Amino acid sequence: MPEADVTPPGGEDPLAVLAVQALDELVGGLEPHLAYPPEPGGRQGGESRPALRRLRVLAHLENAVKELECAAAREAAEAGAGYPQIGAASRLSRQGARRRWPGLVNDSAGPYTTLVSRSTQT
């Protein structure tokens, strides 16, 4: 049975709060290493530059998270987890996990079963 979401009533998930804090620190550490190209029209400065630099770092982190999420889902499936467990871990329903990672879990039964009559009478 999948684990229940442990978000406290009226509050945020503590893991979500920690994740945002950790990403905020990571973004702050990566921003100084980003060489941002000049803005179109030859403008070199501007008040938007720090926000754009931060947005660029966050876009790269989003792609990295998706890549790591796919790898973790694959690893879980290889270790025997099914779509219900993978969905619960990724805060999706079983169907949501199946849509996000089709073919990840080897479902030998297939989407439906054909009934075969075993009657020997003709």
Domain boundaries, the chain: 14-35+47-100
* Dmax (CA) of the chain: 87
75, amino acid identity: E
At 76, the amino acid letter reads A
Q: What is the per-residue pLDDT for 117?
A: 47
**pTM of the model as a whole:** 0.67
> pLDDT by residue (tens digit) across 10-49?
568 899 999 999 999 999 999 888 876 656 665 556 777 8
- Predicted confidence (pLDDT) per residue in 64-94, tens digit: 999 999 999 999 999 999 999 999 999 999 9
* Exposure b/e, 62-91, CB count within 10 A at least 16 = b: eeeeeeeeeeebeebbeeebbbbbbbbbee
